[in-house]
Structure 1
């Protein structure tokens, strides 16, 4: 390694913001400022559980720790280190989750009435961003795996068709990877969009770690994307709600993006969350590959053990690459349970109730365990042992296969207009043909079956009723039981 390269690496061992906050805590200054709990003295029960340092780190903007919406010192340095880590031209800390990053990406590139091309299986935060920005969605339908019963991702060929039909669209949004871990050929998608003068925005909420090991699908910055939003708290090691916005090297003005970001940025950020981003970046930059090497070996063993049980199928990266133009993030431990004679919902409930194991999500045929930088073999051993026990006590009659449904409802009204339109409540069974005034979605993963301004069909109603019978978590409606749905008052 060159001297310059070694000096660059040494920089990544720095945590400028965390160091400044630690100094402030040790300084023990008289706190005649916000927050009012005063080092936890006004929140004793909470302090006794979480510890005094956490509450001393709970600071408002003060001398020496910089200001998040207009940084000039330690936050600036920390964000430059973050940008360098991801090979981005600029990076911004987010402490309102990746949602704020997604909204900023869309609002930075689309004005009211502009078209944006995106997959139909996007997260609810993107639908919310359409309401805020006034952008018009043009959907690309993703492929479906009939074997696993899950939505995969979009293909370059399908994207090109949509781009050619909508040449005035202002941007293309891609998901890298999906909640299930599936990715498109992102580099080809970026090239296709750029060829037509469209910037590429990437929802990389579940892919922070992919930049740090060449076994994973290509990351957004490596693929040449213009902007990406990454949830460091999901797979990068930081605390929940902490994320980052990355700006590529294509010439998009990072200062304008910062202006848009500041429209909704809090003026009272959590320095506890910000410091976790600083330390997580250091760990990824200096030890990321080593940690991920160990995790991938552990997951290879886990998949082999699960597939030995019988009745379960835990696919790896090769399965998705052989199935089409897709790849797979192997930190997502996807397990198809259909041949065990149970639904994914039933297996999830049994794991929680009988084995004290909490997994990320379930659907009709699968469960999904998300692994991470802090994974332990004993966690995965507990899962393998539980799945073995469930299989031993289950009648292995394969459950009836129900074809995966790809909903692409007719858009009658744009999301923003529908959001502000008068609405009325209608029983679910009577909603066929009505225009939805709210989202209906399974959470997780948070992908709407129908969104605002879209026509509710009989097929959607029957699918929702089936999901209710399976006791899965449905959200987005004013009625938490989804017996009634708000529709546009026409």
Structure 2
């Protein structure tokens, strides 16, 4: 088959002159920096159109679906965000209800707002020491569906940002028992398909819509993602419509070619690449597990339920009970060893290993962790549980997200907002999971969490006040009886 990325390379070397967008006209001298302008084109003859794919882009999407064994595949150049927005919008009617894990990415909550949906939350159990979420229990999904039979879809995140995988097969079975689709945010699991060292992809376990970020764990450019359609439970025309709504009308050919090149590389050389990568990764994990103070997190260490499986490419380093916290470890790795990690949390640091990692890179990480470990001491070896450390304590939802965000807003200092209804989001980024959602009641626990995060130098985002000293609340909070459409119980 003709490859999009090859055709783009060849076109960049041709003598065609562009009297069309983009404005750089494929002239590298038009910019102050070096970019691949020669491959940056618009929808011209022979290169198809993402929103009406009939030629080379259609073939590239079909090739990706063939590799993953799915019915259809849609490219997303707006990342998993656009794919999640489209999946939720297509699966749930406007104003409908969705059963979703409370630890979903903020993009899912934005879909709730845009479509005026009402969520029914399942809260994953949280490890009391590290604050890491567990998985979602199939039996709880079934129980919630029995109690809320107007729910139109189920949505979970698996793997989580920290690598925890849920029992997707049985969750899908529970959803299908009630005749509704399962959407799985598998943004961090695009690599699962290519090695049995990793958990099985949700696309192979009965999920109906599966969203994957290629750029997170595969050799593909930032913003590249796909939406896999694995069944006929969600209307295909609706998926097409919403993918067109949530993506730019001028999709980047460089990004689409990146997806195509990634799939070609995986098909031709993926087995060898992943064989070598998993061997390097396992050797690094064995070495890191020998550290005494900075501990590599393993599933058996988590005081959490429903950890059905675990993605070992997620390298979590626990610091609880030691003389360093997560931020300090993160800063030392960056400043002293020039190693940039994915995320810092209160009591751990997350690094993501991927097939593009070299042996030299993994060895550098091991050397750095071992050196810091030798310089670290125990402060509280027992790691006493901190009850106030729970990030996603169950919140009371008094208004829908749309009602709260569209209501008149009034700003209050955090401590004075307790008992009122939040009019905005707050979350730690990354990973972008809300710690409060518009429509939820502000609690003292939430305020103390925000203060604690700020004291440790962690980044609280979402609040319109970038200092995180105030929060906007729904102005009619004191008279909730005035709200015409209360949240269903």
Deviation at 1:401, TM superposition (A): 4.6
Q: Deviations over 1:13-36 (max 9, x none)?
A: x56211221232122211111111
- Selected match of 1:416 from 396, 402, 406: 402
Deviation at 1:325, TM superposition (A): 4.6
Q: Does 1:441 align with 2:427?
A: yes
1:143/1:155 contact within 8 Å kept: no
Give the direction of change, closer, same or farther, for the CA distance of 1:155–1:215 in structure 2 (3 Å limit).
Answer: same
**What corresponds to 2:60 in structure 1?**
78
Deviation at 1:309, TM superposition (A): 2.1
- Selected match of 2:19 from 32, 49, 59: 32
Deviation at 1:320, TM superposition (A): 6.8
Distance in structure 2 (CA, Å) of the matches to 1:285 and 1:321: 39
Q: Deviations over 1:291-330 (max 9, x none)?
A: 2222222222222222212112213466679975521011
**What corresponds to 2:137 in structure 1?**
155
**What corresponds to 1:467 in structure 2?**
453
2:68/2:203 contact within 8 Å kept: yes
Give the TM-score of the pair, scaled to structure 1.
0.92
Local SS of the residue matching 2:234? coil
Q: Deviations over 1:375-425 (max 9, x none)?
A: 012212222222222223333323765244132211111112222111111
Local SS of the residue matching 1:388? helix
Distance in structure 2 (CA, Å) of the matches to 1:292 and 1:339: 35
Q: Calculate the aligned-residue CA RMSD, in Å.
A: 1.9
Stretch of structure 1 that moved more, 202-211 or 385-394 = 385-394
Deviation at 1:201, TM superposition (A): 0.7
2:293/2:377 contact within 8 Å kept: no
Q: Deviations over 1:58-98 (max 9, x none)?
A: 11111111111111110011111011111111111100010
Distance in structure 2 (CA, Å) of the matches to 1:349 and 1:277: 33
Give the direction of change, closer, same or farther, for the CA distance of 1:67–1:162 in structure 2 (3 Å limit).
Answer: same
1:337/1:365 contact within 8 Å kept: yes
**What corresponds to 1:174 in structure 2?**
156
Deviation at 1:353, TM superposition (A): 1.6
Give the direction of change, closer, same or farther, for the CA distance of 1:112–1:175 in structure 2 (3 Å limit).
Answer: same
- Gapped runs of 5+ residues in structure 2? 477-489
2:166/2:309 contact within 8 Å kept: yes
- Selected match of 1:299 from 275, 281, 286: 281
Give the TM-score of the pair, scaled to structure 2.
0.92
Distance in structure 1 (CA, Å) of the matches to 2:332 and 2:307: 35
Distance in structure 2 (CA, Å) of the matches to 1:285 and 1:226: 24
Q: Does 1:272 align with 2:257?
A: no
**What corresponds to 1:484 in structure 2?**
470
- Selected match of 1:357 from 339, 359, 363: 339
- Selected match of 1:429 from 396, 415, 419: 415
Q: How many residues of Structure 1 are paired with residues of Structure 2 in the alignment?
A: 472
Q: Deviations over 1:343-381 (max 9, x none)?
A: 111111111122211100121211110011110122122
- Selected match of 1:224 from 206, 212, 216: 206
Q: Does 1:334 align with 2:319?
A: no
Distance in structure 1 (CA, Å) of the matches to 2:9 and 2:404: 48
**What corresponds to 2:265 in structure 1?**
283
Deviation at 1:143, TM superposition (A): 1.8
2:129/2:384 contact within 8 Å kept: no
Q: Deviations over 1:154-189 (max 9, x none)?
A: 111221221111111000001110000001111010
1:90/1:254 contact within 8 Å kept: no
Give the direction of change, closer, same or farther, for the CA distance of 1:483–1:323 in structure 2 (3 Å limit).
Answer: closer
**What corresponds to 1:6 in structure 2?**
none
